[in-house]
Amino acid sequence: MRALRGFSFVEVLVSIFIMSMMLLLFQAIQRSSALVVSTRNQDAALTIARNEIEKVRAGGYEAVPESGPFSDALLSELPSGSAALTTSEYNEKTKQVTASVSWQERNMETQSSVSLSTLITQVGGLQ
């Protein structure tokens, strides 16, 4: 009997299949980890904006701050994070306040942002 050397065609196909599955699994893990980081950043930005809106609401109409940047301890968790408050007149007895938080996503060239708005009136409800 003669000794055969090398791999059979079936062995090569099985090896290619296994390597392909490992590559697909690796890509899925990479994409899901990027999604987890993006979701964590968006959650932190929403928390920052919600906290600022609640502070403004708690102060009432007379204490509504002017437009401009604001700070929050969670901003340090966002890559290149910044936050700004925009105050405008909605009508003569109501002000509109918008809290915006923006950051730079890692490994992406785009700027992401989240904004929350509220109306604050001089008296108990909208008229």
Asked if residue 46 belongs to a domain, the reply is yes
Asked if residue 126 belongs to a domain, the reply is no
The predicted pLDDT at position 30 comes to 85
**Based on the structure, what is the number of domains in the chain?**
1
Chain position carrying tokens 């980081």? 37
Asked if residue 50 belongs to a domain, the reply is yes
Mean pLDDT of successive 10-residue segments in the chain (127 residues)? 74 94 93 86 94 92 92 90 94 93 82 93 65
Asked if residue 127 belongs to a domain, the reply is no
Asked if residue 4 belongs to a domain, the reply is no
Asked if residue 45 belongs to a domain, the reply is yes
Asked if residue 85 belongs to a domain, the reply is yes
Residue 41 φ/ψ, nearest 5 degrees: -65, -45
Q: Print the domain residue range for 24.
A: 9-121
- CATH number (domain holding residue 75): 3.30.1300
Determine the Cα–Cα distance for residues 88 and 91; give it in Å rounded to an integer.
9
- Cα three-residue angle 87-115-101, rounded to 5 degrees: 95
